[in-house]
Structure 1
Amino acid sequence: MSHPNDPILIERRGHVALLTLNRPATRNALDGEELFAAFETVFARLNEDLDIRAAVLTGAGTAFCSGGNVAEMRDRQGMFGGSPEQIVANYRAGIQRIPRAFQTLHVPIIAAVNGPAMGAGNDLACMCDIRIASSNARFAESFVKVGIVPGDGGCWFLPRIVGLGKASELAFTGDTIDADEALRIGLVTRVAPPESLLDEAFALAHRIAANPPQVLRWTKQLLQQARDASLDEALDQAGQFQGLAHHTADHTEAVASFFEKRPAVFSGR
């Protein structure tokens, strides 16, 4: 599904897609048009492939994602070059395309954080629906350490996961936390030994993928919308999806398998 030099590798395992950030030389830094476009292209492909029911995102090499390219910051190149007004435009045309791409992704996605997730790398993990971490993982909302703000939406994502108080502590201090602390504060849902991280991620992804694919996509959409919707708005949208769900073949199969005490086989119809 992908070329060895692609910035994001895609490997299909049944109904699950493994996405690997493929820039180990830069510890999977988030920079460059090729990578920004890759997120958009890969997610569009997953949305179109109704046989894909879940995805796992991890990093090649020893890091999950080192965040922005600090060398380019120093040299005022790439996204970091130009006047303040130009930098606003650079961010919009650059790294901010990643969170916007995540908002369009229809399938559940799990971050398998295999190593450091720093700055924008931490935010990248937060863009995923679920995060599990290797015991080697480290996390930091470290933008203040290089004298900038989370320009990729971190101040929107992080409080929704760990709460405003803990998000404020992490963003104001730039402190690095280990995997156990990330688990304690709810940034990740589990910690695994490095050698079994992907196995655990796939076990979870396959449990998700065992469910009706269209219902999974609708449920993800409801969870996304509910972050900012009123209760009435959330109920209205849930009702719309529920009306459709009750008329799917997968709903009929799910109910039949319940009464017949057998595993369900879902078709996506």
Structure 2
Amino acid sequence: MESTSVLYEKEGHIATITLNRPEIRNAIDEEMAMAIEAAVDRAGGDDEVWVVVVKAVGKSFCAGVDLSYLVEHASGTGEGAVERGVNRNGHIGWSAYRLFSLEKPTIAAVRGHAFGGGLGIALACDIRIAADDAQLSAVFTKRGLAPDSGTSYFLVQSVGYAKACELAFTARTVDAAEAERLGLVNRVVPIEQVDAEAMRMAQEIVQQAPVALRMAKRALRRRMEDDVLSAFEYELYVNTICGHTQDLAEGGKAFLEKRPPRWLGR
């Protein structure tokens, strides 16, 4: 049975993966993460797909982890949800790695919020087109987590170490104009044009030779692959430590209750 939280379409040589939980800003739970992975694998296994576009239904690209899911699966010490992440196929952050690992060019059409794991999914794509209302945030520390979904690597790669530290430590939100200036996105367009611009670029890319496209991507990221895998694995390690803290459960509850978190430091 196909997922309704992630839609898959193919038109010509372009596959489109659409995040479809607009009622909660496309926040990701375990089922949705696995649906993203399945869609990526489907595109990767289809020789007639040369380019993949990742977009979203609604006002936001992806708000990151579904915090109601996180709180529901966390024990009193916050262990449950992160401990489930030991299984890569069920770990929300690893859906971004699966996307990064795809050998075909990928384009993200980012609108509204790209927070936490949603930022990781966007940064895992090769090219990012942002709507002028886009807001990006490595929000993890505000929720009691360390960077996840590859953001510990992608942020440094995109903006440099010092700026990546600023974004990770403060969890501040970056608007579309600043995101373009920092190199987090390739270009900014009016919101009503963001999906069309991503498709326009995909159409431009599919005019090129498909094997050459795959080899170009392989050459460009050759020195990145081991580093990215190590980053994802280390993120899992540090977030397992965070998962044993009461602060993880508190971060999710504080957000859902719309109040400042009361950190305990344990």
What TM-score comes out, normalization by structure 2 length? 0.77
Corresponding residue number in structure 2 for 1:21 = 19
Unpaired runs of 5+ residues, structure 1, are: 231-269
Paired residues of 1:50 and 1:213 also in contact (CA < 8 A): no
Q: How many residues align?
A: 224
1:135 Cα shift?
0.4
Residues 197 and 88 of structure 1: is their aligned pair in 2 closer, same or farther, counting only changes over 3 Å?
closer
Separation in 1 of the partners of 2:44 and 2:187? 27
User: Could you list the runs of 4 or more consecutive aligned residues of structure 1 that deviate by over 3 angstroms after TM superposition?
Assistant: 80-89
2:60 corresponds, among 59, 63, 80, to 63
Residue 90, structure 1, aligned to residue 62, structure 2: no
Report percent identity of matched pairs.
38
Corresponding residue number in structure 2 for 1:176 = 173
Paired residues of 1:27 and 1:65 also in contact (CA < 8 A): yes
What is the DSSP-based 3-state SS (H/G/I as helix, E as strand, rest coil) of the residue aligned with 1:199?
Answer: helix
Equivalent residue letter for 1:211: Q
Corresponding residue number in structure 2 for 1:116 = 113
Equivalent residue letter for 1:184: R
The one-character-per-residue Cα deviations of 1:130-185 (angstroms, maximum 9, x if unpaired) are 11100011111111222221233311221111221211111111111110000010
1:193 Cα shift?
0.5
Equivalent residue letter for 1:227: M
Paired residues of 1:19 and 1:56 also in contact (CA < 8 A): yes
Corresponding residue number in structure 2 for 1:226 = 223
Residues 11 and 71 of structure 1: is their aligned pair in 2 closer, same or farther, counting only changes over 3 Å?
same
Residues 189 and 98 of structure 1: is their aligned pair in 2 closer, same or farther, counting only changes over 3 Å?
same
What TM-score comes out, normalization by structure 1 length? 0.76
Higher relative contact order, chain-length normalized (CA < 8 Å, sep 6+): 2
What is the DSSP-based 3-state SS (H/G/I as helix, E as strand, rest coil) of the residue aligned with 1:52?
Answer: coil
Paired residues of 1:107 and 1:217 also in contact (CA < 8 A): yes
Separation in 2 of the partners of 1:140 and 1:103? 19
Separation in 2 of the partners of 1:95 and 1:124? 10
Equivalent residue letter for 2:84: N
Residues 88 and 72 of structure 1: is their aligned pair in 2 closer, same or farther, counting only changes over 3 Å?
closer
The one-character-per-residue Cα deviations of 1:199-242 (angstroms, maximum 9, x if unpaired) are 11111111111111111112212222222679xxxxxxxxxxxx
Equivalent residue letter for 1:90: R
Separation in 1 of the partners of 2:82 and 2:27? 20
What is the DSSP-based 3-state SS (H/G/I as helix, E as strand, rest coil) of the residue aligned with 1:17?
Answer: strand
